[in-house]
Amino acid sequence: MLTNLSENNSIIKHYLTQIRDKEIQKDTLRFRKNLFRIAQILAYEISKKLNYETVHTETPLATVETSIIQEKPIICSILRAGLVMHEGFLDFYDQSDSAFVSAYRKHSSPGEFEIVVEYMASPSLKDKTIILIDPMLATGRSMYLAYQALCKHGKPKNVFIASLIASEQGLVYVQRFMPNATIITAAIDKDLNENSYIMPGLGDAGDLAYGIKL
């Protein structure tokens, strides 16, 4: 299942316009704030797809029938770019546990690279719902390899993928190798350039949020 929130007009398009603008990007605080806001919107959209149970709540005046989420989804971010979005999700799912995976591109020559997964911290995922967060779903390989690494801690029963911008190629890759995942993205861009960066995209989300890495 795939949801593209840019198919309809909403405030998310306003934030996306700012987050893509190379002049506005110079304000790192605003970049992080908009990334945080978009993460909250994605978290809300995912909440519509979770399972709920009915409970009875005592107000000061009477008993009312209400609903709560049946379980606490585990929030997992791919480091380091996913950290800002991670906080946005935890604002919504404030009782959830967290997981983290580092996945980076190790370049062997211009345009050629392998995805390296080096660090992972995760609770048990066995039969849990997990939300995987990566701002830029480019080739899809980082997402899939991170998921494979996480499954060493148990196979989750439900998988959600949240991204800021996804490429069409990345979506095809993830849907092929993770067919049961539900994907929610703020926007879909058509192309990847020769270095496998999303076009038109926005650049390197991690660098824009936290500074240029060596």
- This prediction has a pTM of 0.90
Mean pLDDT, consecutive 10-residue stretches, the chain (214 aa), reads: 94 96 95 96 96 96 96 91 92 94 69 71 93 94 89 93 96 95 96 90 91 81
38 contacts: CB under 8 Å, gap ≥ 6: 12, 15, 16, 19, 85, 88, 164, 186
pLDDT at site 153:
87
Is domain 2-210 given the CATH code 3.40.50.2020 in the classification?
Answer: yes
pLDDT at site 118:
79
Considering Cα of 195, then 199, then 205, then 208, what sign does the dihedral take?
positive
